[in-house]
Structure 1
């Protein structure tokens, strides 16, 4: 008897500005229904690293590693809200969650520390989410922002407008999937983005 293939994997990047937002629970519900792989931002934890760097004088490499640990703090926060999400830290764990059709939450250590991206504030959790989407062969990556997002624009426009980090347009040139941006923390828009047919669907 033939077995059905797993649905195309989608990565959902939840900006750290959404921590504590009224719609966060609804956004996580949508991600769960679609079996998405959620990447947390660093939010206020990463902001603390940025604020302390000029005071304490640590270099960009140290700041980069601390910001990744800030993402792990964001993941810990989301995990308390949704303990049903599989916490995944390796490619094998990601694949097992995908094969089971389960929503997953990326624990970025150690993979993000090993990612081939510059150690710079031009790189944030946005670029790391796209890096992960490329590494796992995700069909699409959806960036969820609290700010309003334009209906149609390019990744370069998003970077110019400050919706995503400056490195993302360069990294996107090597990604075969689709990149979408959902604004106003809209669960309905996220649901539509995840439900749309994928050009990479098996």
Structure 2
């Protein structure tokens, strides 16, 4: 049994749902998996969350129901990512994240258990997987939160600028402001380039 009492706080990388259609997705997941502990990946809802949005007006679904369905869409996307990169360890609680890291493995968050039980998350489309990644970062005391998107942000910009540009949801700046560590945004191409440099250096 690994000792979880001194597990270091995680570094969180949130993968935007738009990356589901990126040809480099499997390569990106493999590169992140190789980084190992203390990395925790958060998957966006991607096309599955888009399907919830499309279904809402057809069935006149409440925002509360769609909130829960969108979280389950993130969970399903996480299972898909784990299938593409089997060395990622699925984790649904702080304890299972710590256990994965104690084994040296990068973890992949299954959000339903924690997020569906939370009473501090607005049940509306103003909250998406971006804010949920900041929320879990706060819960776990993460050292850093990095959003990986298909679109680059302007260097020197801040979460409020990202929200104004539609790159993150409207609630993200408030959630990000609660974090002690840095919050940044990058692209899949930049992550892969950095990983390649580390592989060469190794």
What TM-score, normalized by structure 1, do the two folds share?
A: 0.86
Structure 1 counterpart of 2:190: 186
* Contact 2:88–2:108, Cα closer than 8 Å, also in 1: yes
Aligned residue in 2 for 1:50: 53
Say which of 104, 121, 128 aligns to 1:124.
Answer: 128
Aligned residue in 1 for 2:14: 13
- Which of 24, 39, 43 matches 1:40? 43
Alpha carbons 1:23, 1:187 under 8 Å: kept: no
Matched-pair contact (CA < 8 Å) for 1:182–1:189: no
Measured in 1, the distance between the counterparts of 2:96 and 2:112 equals 13
- 1:146-161 matches, within 5 Å, as 146-161=150-165
Q: 1:106 to 1:155 in 2, by over 3 A?
A: same
1:68 and 2:88 equivalent? Answer: no
RMSD of Structure 2 on Structure 1 (CA): 2.0
Q: Shift in Å at residue 6 of structure 1?
A: 5.7
List per-residue Cα deviations over 1:71-102 (Å, max 9, x = no partner).
Answer: 01101110110111111011110111223331
- 1:59–1:189: structure 2 CA closer, same or farther, 3 Å change rule? farther
SS at match of 2:99: helix
TM-score (norm 2): 0.86
Distance in 2 separating the partners of 1:139 and 1:148: 22
Structure 2 residues without counterparts, runs of 5 or longer: 1-5
Relative to structure 1, the CA distance from residue 69 to residue 17 in structure 2 (aligned partners, 3 Å threshold; closer, same or farther) is same
Provide the aligned length of Structure 1 versus Structure 2. 189
- In the alignment, is the contact (CA less than 8 A) between 2:152 and 2:185 conserved in 1? no
Aligned-residue offset at 1:58: 1.1
SS of residue in 1 equivalent to 2:155: coil
CA distance in 1 between counterparts of 2:170 and 2:194 reads 23
Deviations 1:134-174, CA, capped at 9 Å, x for gaps: 11111001100011222220000011111111100111221
1:106 maps to 109
Q: Which runs of 4+ in 1 moved over 3 A?
A: 5-8, 188-192
- Other-structure match for 1:199: none
Q: Identify unmatched segments of 5+ residues in structure 1.
A: 195-202
